[in-house]
Each structure stands twice: as structure tokens, then as C-alpha cells.
Amino acid sequence: MKTWRIIAGAAGLLLGGLLAAPPARAGELSCTMHFQLSGWSVFYKTATGSGTVRCSNGQSMHVKLRAKGGGLTFGKTRIDDGVGKFSGVSGIREVLGHYANAEAHAGAEKSAEAQVLTKGNVSLALSGKGQGWNLGVAFGAFIIEP
């Protein structure tokens, strides 16, 4: 009888563990950035803009954005309604800094763009719609500053 109680208790713990939602990593926040960005490229790519980062803990911060790099790239672009989603963040200030990026792009008139950038353990997925024209391959940095 005692063996059945042990088996039933273990089965209950196992089943409870399987049905429970997996816990979020301790201290990880959900942060989103809404931004606008415009720039140009002729071998060297440059863009500037601004945005607002908001996190699930209620913190928010206005930020300045810069993109720079080089490659075989030509064009002029503007993103008015961009969205960035951060992962791996435990505090809002962790979104600041230099993110590495590489991209291939082609567009004319109205275009859409999406890319994922990284900075250590922090990732940033960017998406947006804009206007302009561009063609090429570029490597460089996406920089978020206070």
C-alpha cells in the first residue's frame, strides 16, 4: 500500500510539472522600441533617427539611433513606423549600445524591411515600412544611445 502512495505521489508531481507553464528566465523583461530612421548610402551607409523603448516593468526611455557601415550599397531610405523587440534584457539600460548587423537589401518606393541584430546576450528584431530606394549588401553597426 505504501508503494502505491509513493508511485501515485510521484506521478502527481510529474503530471503537475508537465502541465505547468515553463517559468520565464528570472529577471527577463519584455521591451519594445517604436522608432523612425532615415539615411543614405553610397558605399558607406549612414542613418539617424530616434525612438522610445518601453519595457514590461513600466520603464520607458527616449533613445537616439544611428546606423553606420559599408559595403556595396547605394540608396536613400526612410522608416517612419519601425518596431523593435528586444530579448535577453533584464534592465532597460541593457538595450543601449552597439549591435552588429549585416544585411542585403533591395527596394523601390515603398518597401518593408526586417532584420535581427545582436549585442552579447541581447537580441533586437527590427521591422518597419518605409519609402525610398536602395540596393546592395552592407555590414556595420546599429547604435542605440540615451
- pLDDT tens across 9-50, in order? 433 433 343 333 233 455 689 999 999 999 888 777 888 999
Q: How many domains does the chain have?
A: 1
For residue 115, is it within any domain? yes
C-alpha cell at 66: 544611428
pLDDT at residue number 23? 36
For residue 53, is it within any domain? yes
For residue 99, is it within any domain? yes
Give Dmax over CA atoms of the chain in angstroms.
80
For residue 18, is it within any domain? no
Q: Spell out a b/e string for 109-143, using b for 16 or more CB atoms within 10 Å of the CB, else e.
A: eebebebebebeebebebebebebebebebebebb
For residue 105, is it within any domain? yes
For residue 45, is it within any domain? yes
For residue 3, is it within any domain? no
Instruction: Identify the burial level of 53 via C-beta atoms within 10 angstroms of its C-beta, where 0-12 means exposed, 13-18 middle and 19 or more buried.
Output: buried
Task: Decide which of 56 and 132 is more confident.
Answer: 56
Domain of 63, in residue numbers:
27-145
- Centre a 10 Å sphere on the Cβ of residue 54 and count the other Cβ atoms it contains: 15
pLDDT at residue number 26? 55
Q: Indicate the pTM of the whole model.
A: 0.74
For residue 137, is it within any domain? yes
- pLDDT tens across 86-115, in order? 999 999 999 999 998 766 656 666 666 678
